[in-house]
Amino acid sequence: MLNLPVPVLTIGLLVVSNVFMTFAWYGHLKYKETALITVILVSWGIAFSNTC
């Protein structure tokens, strides 16, 4: 595992999380014909995979 200081690791994880959620949000806006439940599940899947 990386031996980074906790503040650096925290900021890095927040940036990565923000990038994933931004892609999820713009994906939702791009595919408006897709059912809302599908968009929600995909967005949560992206967020969940980011936390694992």
Per-residue model confidence (pLDDT) at position 50: 59
Per-residue model confidence (pLDDT) at position 1: 55
Beta carbons of 46 and 24 less than 8 angstroms apart: yes
Per-residue model confidence (pLDDT) at position 8: 92
Per-residue model confidence (pLDDT) at position 11: 92
Per-residue model confidence (pLDDT) at position 43: 73
Place of tokens 């900021």: 11
Per-residue model confidence (pLDDT) at position 34: 77
Place of tokens 């968009």: 39
Instruction: Report the alpha-carbon distance of residue 10 to residue 4 in Å, rounded.
Output: 10
* 2-52 residue pLDDT tens: 688 999 988 998 898 888 778 777 777 777 787 878 877 877 787 777 565
